[in-house]
Amino acid sequence: MIGEAKAGERIVRRHLDRLVEARHQLGTRAVEARLLLVGSSFDQGLVVEGADRDDVEIVDLDRLDHRY
């Protein structure tokens, strides 16, 4: 798993793009790594995209409160 957490910042597509690039840079050992974005505010387009992808997990504060 490769992830990024933000407090007080809206998580947008560029955050996901950075995780995709990090996974790519790690090479074959990370090819199946899931990408985790944790925060309190997300771009709606990113939420929709994340729901359509098996390799992306979006975790908001409500989900964290329910013991992700």
Domain boundaries of the chain, sorted by first residue:
2-65
Question: Mean pLDDT across the stretch 19-37?
Answer: 96
pLDDT band, very low/low/confident/very high, at 55 (cuts 50, 70, 90) = very high
Element (H, E) at 5: strand 2-6
Range with lowest mean pLDDT among 29-33, 44-48, 54-58, 60-64: 60-64
Element (H, E) at 27: none
Q: pTM of the predicted model, to two decimals?
A: 0.88
Element (H, E) at 28: none
Residue 16: pLDDT over 70 = yes
Residue 28: pLDDT over 70 = yes
